Structure formats: structure tokens, C-alpha cells
Amino acid sequence: MVLDDLGESLRGTLDSLRGKSRIDEEDVDEVVTEIQRSLLQADVDVGLVQDLSEAIRSRSLDEEPPAGTSARDHVLRIVYEELVDLVGDSMELPLEERTIVLAGLQGSGKTTTAAKMAWWFSTKGLRPAVIQTDTFRPGAYDQAEQMAERAEVDFYGDPDGDDPVQIARDGLEATADAEVQIVDTAGRHALEDDLIEELEAIDRAVDPDDTILVLDAAIGQAASDQAEEFDRAVADGVDGVTITKLDGTAKGGGALAAVDQTDAEIAFLGTGEGVKDVERFEPSGFVSRLLGMGDLEQLAERVERAMVETGEDDEEWDPEDLMEGEFTLKDMRKQMEAMNQMGPLDQVMDMIPGLGGGIMDQLPDDAMDVTEDRMRSFEVIMDSMTEDELEHPQSVGAERVERIARGSGTDPETVRELLQQHQMMDRTLDQFQGMGDGDLGRMMDQLGEGGGMGGMGGMGPF
């Protein structure tokens, strides 16, 4: 995921402060050097890095840590606040009827982003539509149509049309039932006159609530120039920015920080080619995740989505029960189904407070790696188990393993694997259950005061 190296090296440096109650200049210099190295590598502007370093240095030494706060937590909090400041605010996007025009250079990811955003709005209960007006790039129509289909949202385009403005007009009419209309436009290699003219003509015809510029993260700090150029070129200016391809470049940090230097704010981040590889930009959550403090909001959103998609949003099963009672094989089954819906496990793990380099390192790599194939055989096995065995898997001895293997048409080895997997998940869960009262829980609560993050209560099924 984005800025992995930055997060990892920062976590490493901050961890070296563990156990210290006071912090001296040397400690601070070490942290600051590491931050500078990481941010410069991520293509953040040198001046910004210097300002940030100075702020971290002086605040760490001058500010008195709240009583009971360790040196590490004190610095972590300051680094967190300064990084949140560096990446800027999130663009406001009220969940109500709106028309959005996407602009950007060729290949920046507009078409993909249109479908991703539409999908995102659909998860918020709104009915979105994508209107494709790109008559410039052959293949744009098919690509947009396919992506809209994958996103399961309304779509309008005209493969034979050659007038983008007319297509936009027709599209608005044809998708009038949709609550959020997202108009995808054509790109060019550079911000040249015909691109500007086309954008302005579409803007006049559509009169959007928001014009969102789509930028490829790989341009790093050049993002500020591009945002400013587009802002000047488009009559009503650019309201927000979506940064794409954060999964494929080390320069994402530079792009993020650079956008904050302009008048535009970031709306979404693109983190992959799939239609669901998108997230709303939330500065506090983003930075918390980066620093290994998890991102409860993103996690809660994914869990909620997974619950709906697996039909587990029923009353019988409350994921929060996992934080209290015993973890049975039945729970594990629901877990596996939900997890498979949530996307790549490493991304999910990054969102869990404390896992950014902590507990997961102590577990075998495959502790939670339940692939679809494995899951299918696990399901068959569970179908062959009695109610009592599902509730108390620890009571399943060698003889029963043989019986279950025969009954399910699998082999004893796979049955044992299932039981081991259950044990590992159970153990992980135990660690979480203890965590809320500890150091990290307090830390999260402290951050909650300034960063809009709650305690550990609503953490969901982990």
C-alpha cells in the first residue's frame, strides 16, 4: 500500500524510543532524520520537509508530554499531527444529489476513477451513473462500459458519437434517475488548448457541482503545478483532486503534500486497478495507518460492506461479540466469508491499530491466510461437524478428525489445518481483547480528541 516504506521506517525509529520516559535532542534528531529521508524519498518538497522537521523537533523538546505519556507516544502524537497537517484536508462531498465532472491528462486514471467513485457512492446508498464523453481515445467507451458494469452502476455513452458536449447533455438526460452523475472526459498528453476548450464546453453544458481533477501519484510534487494549471485553465476552477495509482509508486507522499499547497483538496485515493480499489481521503485515518496506528473508520466501512455483501448483517451475529465471548468455528466461518469480501488481507491488517508491524510479525505469515480454495474445503469440513464440535473445536480429538475427514470427503491433514487455523485466529483475537486496556488503547483515545478517532470499541470482527 501507499507509502509503505515511509510508515515502516518511521515505525522502526519510533519503536527505538520504547521504554524511554524522557526524550533528548539526540532521540529527536534520529526521528527527524528518518522522517526527512522517507519524505524526500516520497518526493515531498524539500521546503515542506524542512518546515515539518523543525516543527517536530521544537515541539518534541519544548512541549511537556501529558502525565503518564511515554516519550514514544509523545513524539508519535506530534509526528501524527504534523503529518496530518502536511497532507491537508479532505474535500467535502455531501452525500446528496450532485453532478461531478472529472478532468485530467491522458492516462491519469479518469475512466477508472469515474467507475470507482460511482461504486463508492453506491455503497453509501446513492444511485450513481457514469457518463462517458471521451470521443478522443479509441477504446474509452468499452472500458468505461465494462467498468460501470463491474461497479454495477448506470452507464451512458455513445460509441458512435463525436461531440462530447452533446454526449454529456444526452447522458444527463438519459441518467436523470441517478442521484450522482459522474461525467468522464477525454484527456490529452498535456494541458493544451483543445483539452481546455473541450472541458469548458462540457462544464458549461453540465454545470457540475464539483469538478474533480484526476492526478497520477507518480508525478509526485509536480502535482501542485498540474493542479494549479488546471485550476487556472478551467473557468470555475478545480474543486477537488483524486490521486490515483498510489499502489504503484513511491512518490505518493509528494503528490499528497503538493496538493495541499494548492487551493484544491483531496477527495479520493486510487489504490489499484479494480473498481473497488478506492478510498475516501481522510487525513487522520490515512496518517494513523501510515504510522501503524490503524484506521478504524476505513476498517469499519469495509467490515460494514462485507457484512452486507455476505448477508451477515443479521441480528443473530454481532461481530462485536467476538471481542467478548468464545471464538467458535461458526464465528470463524463467518469471519472467513467476511474477510474474503474485504479485499487484500495486508491492506485490511494495515487498518487495525497495532498491527502495522506489531502483533502480525509474531504470527506465522499464513496465520490468517484463508484462500478461497482452502475456505471451500474448510466449509465442507464444517458441514460434516456436529453442532457440539463447531461450538467446542478444542474437543475434537484424533478419532473425530478421522471421522470428519471421511464424512467430508477430505483428509485428516486438512481437518487438522482447519483446527490449527481456528486456534491461531483465536489466539490473535485474545491479544486484541487485551489490547483495549493497554498502552495503545490510551494512545488511541488521546488521538481521538484531536484526530476524530474513537477508542477501540467498535473495532468489528477482530
- Contacts with ligand GTP by CB under 6 A lie at 104, 106-112, 134, 137, 140, 143, 186-187, 244-245, 247-248, 270-273, 277
CB–CB of 284/451 below 8 Å?
yes
Rounded to the nearest whole angstrom, what is the least distance from the CB of residue 404 to ligand GTP in the complex?
42
Rounded to the nearest whole angstrom, what is the least distance from the CB of residue 245 to ligand GTP in the complex?
4
Strand order across the 180-184 sheet = 154-156, 128-132, 180-184, 98-103, 210-216, 240-244, 265-270, 278-280
> Of 190 and 398, which has the nearer Cβ to ligand GTP?
190
* Annotated binding-site positions: 104-111, 184-188, 244-247
**Comparing C-alpha atoms, which of 166, 352, 344, 359 is closest to residue 271?**
344
Where do the H-state alpha helices sit in 310-438? Answer: 329-342, 345-350, 359-362, 372-383, 387-391, 398-408, 412-435
Residue 374 φ/ψ, nearest 5 degrees: -60, -40
Rounded to the nearest whole angstrom, what is the least distance from the CB of residue 342 to ligand GTP in the complex?
18
> Of 104 and 460, which has the nearer Cβ to ligand GTP?
104
Rounded to the nearest whole angstrom, what is the least distance from the CB of residue 281 to ligand GTP in the complex?
13
Rounded to the nearest whole angstrom, what is the least distance from the CB of residue 252 to ligand GTP in the complex?
10
d(CA 119, CA 124): 9
Nearest residue to ligand GTP, by Cβ distance, number only: 187
Grid coordinates standing for 213? 481533477
Rounded to the nearest whole angstrom, what is the least distance from the CB of residue 188 to ligand GTP in the complex?
8
**3-class DSSP assignment, residue 366:** coil
> Of 270 and 319, which has the nearer Cβ to ligand GTP?
270
**Comparing C-alpha atoms, which of 73, 130, 462 is closest to residue 302?**
462
Which DSSP category does 90 fall into?
B
Give the position of cell 487495525.
352
* Annotated binding-site positions for GTP: 104-111, 184-188, 244-247
* Residue 15, number of CB atoms within 10 A of its CB: 14
> Of 11 and 245, which has the nearer Cβ to ligand GTP?
245
Grid coordinates standing for 405? 475427514
